[in-house]
Structures are given as structure tokens and as C-alpha cells.
Amino acid sequence: MSKLKKIFVILIFSLVLIGTKDQVQAVELNQILKIGSRGEQVFFLQQLLTKYGYNLKIDGIFGVRTKEMVCKFQSNNGLKVDGIVGPQSWKCLLSNPVDSGKTIYTIQEGDRLPDLASRFGISSSELIKANPQINFELLQVGHTIIVPNSVILSRGSNNEIKIERKSVTNSGADLIPWNIVKNIYTDKAVVIDVVTGLSFNVKRLGGYNHADSEPLTVQDTEIMKKIYGGKWSWDRRSIIVVTNGYRIAASMNGKPHGSQRITNNNFNGHFCIHFLESKTHNNNNKIDPLHQQKVYLAKGNKKKVRNQKSCFALVSYFFIYN
């Protein structure tokens, strides 16, 4: 690898969390970003731009507004103005220390507290605490708020820029139907087991009725197996899927099966992640009541579980809450 290329191999700290401790995994950040790009790297780009004072929505989607802010950044820094984030733009974005303690965000039309918290990957209580002067029930367009950053920038031992996402707890998730989730969880995510608090990285393989997913690395497979007590199982578990700024209530099984795309993760196949109203790939594409119970439990909705009419639901509720 040439010296020039090495400059643009940036270490990102991914969301691999156990309890309250931050664990990290090295990932390359040399991808070209442009209109239509989505995912974690766009999320980081938007966070960086807001730190430099560019006002845009942080949602992991490279749209018209993000391109406009990229063009302004390029123009202000003597770069080629094309709205495409390549090696030179990344180098400039990451060349100087940035105050990573907070982001100043300007309220836009339609902004609500839960949506803002989800967008920035922090809790509603953190936003309220950081802005005691703001009435979040009466947000006004144009007002500014302080957002405690979910991204920390620092320099490593080799002077490389490191980007670290803050710890995500195993509490708080949104119930989002599968027909919407399938357009949110499109690539990589972090799975947090609600009971143990253990978490691991995953990548979506595909799936039409639910998300067929794979552990990203050998280390992620080990964590997943630990969650299942060291033995793979079809048992459903309540989880929270963190991706693109969203925390989504979900359910997974722990059995490797079927096809796979990642061949070096020590996981022979894929596993299933279900969301609200998702269905199985067999049994006439039916909704799995056990998965749905776990989804509601991930949300913390015990009443919904009690109201389920399936016998399986009643039995599950008895063993979980008695």
C-alpha cells in the first residue's frame, strides 16, 4: 500500500459494546460517498460536517442537503467542488482536531424529541439534560440546541484519526414495522441482547419477509454464541438493532442455517432477525407469534404480550414474569 493510500485508511470504532465498556473494531473509511449513499459512513460524515458548523440532518442518508453542505465545505477549503466525498475531502475533514464534545443543531420543521434522539443516537433524557432552557414539547423552527455527540474524535498512537461511537445501553427502542425497517437496516448494524447487554456487529445478507443476517467477524460470532450459552439454538431472544441512528425493537434466533456471504466469520450460514409484523420464509409466510412477543419485550411492552391470544404467548409470559 502506498503512503498516499495509508493516509486514507482511517480506523473507526464500531458499536461493539459489552455492558458499559467501549470495545472497538478497525474498519477502513476510504469509501467514496455521494448522492444516494447510505449507512454508517454517511452518518459519520454528517456528524463531522455539523462539527464544522454546517447545518444538516444527521440521518445516514446522503441526500441533496448533505451534498449542498459537502460542496460548501469543499469550496471553503480549496477543494474541487463536486459534492463527492473522496480521499481529498476525507483528508481535509479529518486533518484538524475537532471539538467532539457537542454539536449545535438548528431545529427544523417537524422535529420532535424522540426523532431527534433517535437521529443522533442518544437518549431523550440526554438531550433534555443538555438543554435545560428548551421546552421540547414546544420546539420552534430556527432555535438551536446542544447535542451531546455520539461520536468522539481522537488521535491514535500512530497519529491516525479515530472515530468512536459512544456506548449504547441495552434499553430504549422503537417499534417500527418491517416494511419500513427493511429500508433502514440495509447493510451493517449492531445487535444488543436485551437480557445480557452483550452486543455484536452484523451485516444484512438479504431476506424479503425478515432480515437474514450474519455476524460480521469471528469475534462477533463468539459474542453471539456466548449470548446463547455456548450452544446454537432456534430460541428467540429480544434484541435491539442499532443502525443509521435508529434503535429498533427486534427478535433473533441463534441457529446458523442456509446461505452465507461472509466466509471468514466462523458462522456457517446466517440467522434470522424479526421485527414488528415481519413474517417467516416458510409456513405460508406467516407471522411468528414467538418472535413478535420478543419484539414487544424488546420495546418493554409487557401489556401487549399479555394481550396476545396465542397459547405460546401465555406460556412465555408465565415463565418470563412469574
- Residue 176 confidence (pLDDT): 84
Q: With residue 80 as reference, give the H or E element that holds it.
A: none
Q: What is the pLDDT along the chain (322 residues), one digit of tens a residue?
A: 444 444 333 333 333 222 223 322 223 445 789 999 987 678 778 877 876 778 787 777 899 999 999 999 898 888 999 999 988 888 887 765 444 455 666 777 888 887 777 666 667 777 787 788 788 888 888 777 777 755 444 444 444 444 444 444 445 678 888 988 888 899 998 898 988 888 888 999 999 999 999 999 998 999 999 999 999 999 999 999 988 777 889 999 999 999 999 999 999 999 999 999 999 987 668 889 999 999 999 887 554 444 443 443 333 333 333 3
CB 240 within 8 A of CB 192: yes
* Closest to 274 measured CA to CA, from 188, 194, 197, 175: 175
CB 36 within 8 A of CB 44: no
Residue 289: Cβ-neighbour burial (10 angstroms; 0-12, 13-18, 19+): middle
Terminal Cα-to-Cα distance of the chain (whole angstroms): 59
Q: Could you tell me where in the chain the CATH 1.10.101.10 domains are found?
A: 9-101+149-165
- Give me the helix-helix angle, 311-321 and 289-299, nearest 10°: 40
Q: Tell me the C-alpha distance between 261 and 50, whole Å.
A: 35
Q: With residue 300 as reference, give the H or E element that holds it.
A: none
Q: Tell me the C-alpha distance between 200 and 193, whole Å.
A: 9
Dihedrals phi, psi of 220, to nearest 5 degrees: -65, -40
CB 167 within 8 A of CB 21: yes
Q: Which CATH architecture has domain 9-101+149-165?
A: Orthogonal Bundle (1.10)
- Residue 22 confidence (pLDDT): 32
Neighbours of 290 (CB within 10 A): 19
The three cell numbers locating residue 249: 425493537
Residue type, 16: V
CB 202 within 8 A of CB 220: yes
| Reported pTM | 0.47
Dihedrals phi, psi of 312, to nearest 5 degrees: -60, -40
Which residues are registered as beta bridge partners of 240? 192, 249
- DSSP letter at 219 equals H
